[in-house]
Each structure stands twice: as structure tokens, then as C-alpha cells.
């Protein structure tokens, strides 16, 4: 039986990808950010997940305004890094896991989640930056990836409650897959940041840390946070944090925190990172 053994939350700021690609991860600016991921890189080497369900948002790379899927799951065998306007990142192609992805997609639809299914797409920094943060610069990514793209750009985006419930359904789906697989789920994006308008640059250390607190243990409080609270407290792009709730929902009733990291700033953004395991 496949099993979700851990959840990882992480920001996916594009500048982190630039730092990795240009070998700047140890300098004064980026050093403290990357130091907070060292624990996780070592931990992943021993965990050796077979598959990662990677929850992220596309930043006008694979999707434009022609089609805006709320929840989309990648069922393809491989995905190439997207050209986001300055050429694709020179990172390995991403390998999918079509058997598990199709199993999850079918199960979710029967479980009342009307998923969009994607067989072909390119994946942007939202997906490849977390891989670089957790795995460094290997020749080949050490796990198969099932991309799960969430619309967090065009409003209304899905509610936190719906995201959490989707996570719960993903857990049920994974656990009904017959093959023995070690599956992780990653929620990416955030934390506080605003990239637009005169209020750009807003960061909220206190709120972000309260959000991290709510992911640990058996609290369900985070699923009720309304969009307006994310917008007021964490900036217009802080809404990406609803994607972390898909990860949290997939970990069951109670979680234990294995590792946590927070750093301000990276470019316009507050960096947050947490590693959780189910504790039921």
C-alpha cells in the first residue's frame, strides 16, 4: 500500500532558483536562507521518497488566461522546466508517476473533487525551486513528481477549507493504491508577500509564524481562515499559503513538526519552511 509519510511546506521564490543556478547559495544574502534547508536535504537522503505530490501554482507559464483550472493534476510521464522569459532553468526534467497520478485523479473525481487532468505541460519555478531547495543540484531528481497546480491568481481562488479537504481526499486516494510507495506531499508558495501596487513589500513575521504554529498538532483552525485575512495580513500574494493546507490536510488528524525555518527577506518575500509527519 502506498502511504503519505511526510509533508513539506516551502516558499518557492524564483530568486532562490537563480541563487542555486548561479552558485550563490552560500553568500551573505542567501546563506541564512539555504542554511535553514540543510536539515531537510540530509533528511530527504534517508527518507528516499518514491513519489512527491507537489502542490504549487503556475505563474503564467503553462497556463495563461485562456484556461484557469482551480485544481489540476499532472498525469504525464515527464515535464520540462518552463521558459519564464529568460530561458528554462538548467535543472533536470521532472519525471512523473502516471500510474499513481491517474489513480489519484480518478479517486478524487469519485470523491467529489472535479479535477482538471493535464497530460502535457511545462513546469515553472513554483515546482522546480522547491526541488532545488530540498534536493540541491543532482543530475536527476531523486523522486517521481506528481504536479498539483492550484489557481491562486484569479479570484475567487479555492477556500482554505476546500484545500484542506482536497488534502484529506488525496490521503484516501494514496492509501488505496496497491503498490508499496513512500509518498510525500509538499505545499509550496508564500509566505507573506505582495508584488503589486503601492502596498508592495508587505511582510508579516508574526502572522506567518502563527500560521506555521497552526499546521502542527491537531488544530483545524487554519482551514477557516478567510481569503480577506490572508490579503490584509500577508499581502496579495500571501494567499499562496492556502496551498500549504492541501499538504496539511493530507497528513491526517495530528502532525508532529520535525523541522521549521523562517527568514526575512528573499527579494520581496518572507521565506517559510516546515517539515511535518503524521502523528496519528
Partner 1 sequence: MADQKPTQSIHEYLAEFDDIPGTRVYTAARARRGYHINQFAMSLMKAENRERFKADEKAYLDEWDISDEGKAALLARDYNKLLDLGGNVYFLSKLFSTDGLSFAEAVSTMTDMTFPEYREMMLQGGRSPEGNRSIKGGY
Residue numbers at the binding site for partner 1 (CB under 8 A): 14-15, 59-61, 64-66, 83-86, 153-156, 192, 194-205, 207, 226-228, 231-237, 264-265, 267-268, 270
- Min. distance of Cβ 1 from partner 1 in angstroms? 32
Q: Measure CA of the first residue to CA of the last residue in the chain; give whole Å.
A: 17
- Written as nine digits, the cell of 221 is 483552525
Place of cell 491537531: 218
On whether the CB atoms of residues 11 and 188 are closer than 8 A, the answer is yes
Q: Is 125 a catalytic residue?
A: yes
CB of 3 to partner 1, least distance (A): 32
Strands 51-56, 94-95: parallel, antiparallel or unpaired by DSSP? unpaired
Q: How far is the CB of 206 from partner 1 (least distance, A)?
A: 8
Decide whether 104 or 150 has the Cβ nearer to partner 1. 150
User: Is 227 annotated as catalytic?
Assistant: no
- Is the peptide bond between 156 and the residue preceding it cis, with omega within 30 degrees of 0? yes
Cα separation, 168 vs 171, in Å, equals 5
CB nearer partner 1, residue 132 or residue 268: 268
Q: How far is the CB of 207 from partner 1 (least distance, A)?
A: 7
Which residue number, 135 or 230, has a Cβ lying nearer to partner 1?
230
Nearer to partner 1, 56 or 177 (CB): 56
Give the C-alpha separation, 61 to 222, whole Å.
Answer: 29
User: Quick check: 81 and 122 in contact, CB under 8 A?
Assistant: yes
Among 12, 59, 97, 125, the active-site one is 125
The residue among 140, 127, 119 whose CA lies nearest residue 61 is: 127
To the nearest 10°, report the CA torsion of 264, 270, 275, 277: 130
Distances in Å between the Cα of 109 and the Cα atoms of 72, 196, 274 are: 11, 36, 29
Q: Which of 12, 97, 193, 261 is catalytic?
A: 193
Strand, helix or coil for residue 233: helix
174 or 271: whose CB is closer to partner 1?
271
User: Minimum distance between the CB of residue 253 and partner 1, rounded to whole angstroms?
Assistant: 22
Active-site positions read 125, 193
Amino acid at each position: 500500500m502506498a502511504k503519505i509519510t511526510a509533508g513539506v511546506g516551502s516558499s518557492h521564490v524564483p530568486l532562490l532558483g537563480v541563487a542555486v543556478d548561479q552558485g550563490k547559495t552560500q553568500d551573505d544574502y542567501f546563506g541564512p536562507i539555504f542554511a535553514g534547508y540543510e536539515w531537510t536535504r540530509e533528511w530527504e537522503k534517508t527518507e528516499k521518497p518514491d513519489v512527491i505530490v507537489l502542490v504549487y501554482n503556475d505563474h503564467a507559464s503553462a497556463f495563461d488566461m485562456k484556461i484557469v483550472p482551480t485544481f489540476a493534476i499532472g498525469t504525464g510521464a515527464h515535464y520540462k522546466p518552463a521558459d519564464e522569459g529568460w530561458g528554462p532553468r538548467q535543472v533536470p526534467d521532472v519525471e512523473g508517476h502516471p500510474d499513481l497520478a491517474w489513480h489519484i485523479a480518478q479517486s478524487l473525481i469519485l470523491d467529489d473533487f472535479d479535477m482538471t487532468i493535464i497530460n502535457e505541460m511545462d513546469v515553472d519555478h513554483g515546482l522546480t525551486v522547491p526541488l532545488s531547495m530540498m534536493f540541491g543540484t543532482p543530475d536527476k531528481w531523486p523522486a517521481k513528481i506528481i504536479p498539483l497546480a492550484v489557481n491562486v491568481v484569479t479570484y475567487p481562488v479555492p477556500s482554505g477549507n476546500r484545500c484542506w479537504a482536497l488534502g484529506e481526499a488525496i490521503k484516501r486516494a494514496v492509501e488505496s493504491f496497491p503498490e508499496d510507495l513512500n509518498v510525500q506531499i509538499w505545499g509550496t508558495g508564500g509566505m507573506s508577500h505582495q508584488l503589486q501596487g503601492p502596498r508592495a513589500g508587505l511582510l508579516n513575521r508574526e502572522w506567518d509564524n502563527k500560521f506555521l504554529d497552526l499546521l502542527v498538532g491537531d488544530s483545524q483552525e487554519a482551514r477557516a481562515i478567510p481569503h480577506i485575512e490572508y490579503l490584509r495580513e500577508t499581502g496579495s500574494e500571501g494567499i499562496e499559503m492556502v496551498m500549504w493546507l492541501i499538504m496539511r490536510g493530507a497528513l491526517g488528524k495530528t502532525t508532529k513538526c520535525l523541522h521549521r525555518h523562517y527568514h526575512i527577506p528573499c527579494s520581496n518575500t518572507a521565506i517559510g519552511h516546515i517539515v511535518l509527519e503524521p502523528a496519528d
